[in-house]
Chain A
Amino acid sequence: NAGVMQNPRHLVRRRGQEARLRCSPMKGHSHVYWYRQLPEEGLKFMVYLQKENIIDESGMPKERFSAEFPKEGPSILRIQQVVRGDSAAYFCASSPQSSGWKDNQPQHFGDGTRLSIL
């Protein structure tokens, strides 16, 4: 009964390097959501993806950040040329269908990737 799996759990990068965060949704879930939790801040929505489609990326920084959810394999959140301000916990959530509450489709969260930038 595997839940949402994120890896790595901890990632250390130097400024200017690339960070790749992976998320495997729960079995049977085809909708993925990424959130970022900065120190002393609440979780902030970044992007909502379905298989091979970005539905809403309104929370993503305009530069250096990208996300994908290919037909096969996990969803990837990619951060290029990382800076100190990218240090945060990145959480992925999934749902079987679009997370509409009338349909009782809650988002199930993974345990996150803690990204540290040196």
Chain B
Amino acid sequence: QKEVEQNSGPLSVPEGAIASLNCTYSDRGSQSFFWYRQYSGKSPELIMFIYSNGDKEDGRFTAQLNKASQYVSLLIRDSQPSDSATYLCAVTDKLIFGTGTRLQVFP
């Protein structure tokens, strides 16, 4: 079992829709969770981090964490074509990444 698992996609959503990206992790002791965005040919950049169970909102982005289910998700509201990228889930201070989910937002 991989430490961090994501559906590789692509996830295709129309402009203006909500994109939902999911991630599961294996280490129950994990305390910190991160979502990074990576455009093609570029390095990853941090979108959000979450440490506590529940929801955390930042603009159009909401991170959701459920430690009991070992599940973290990212919702992107009002998706824009510029959101098209690979979204990487990372876990723990060691930053263990999943394979990433490729998101495509079409006009």
Instruction: Say if A and B assemble together.
Output: no
- Identify the B interface with A (CB < 8 A): none
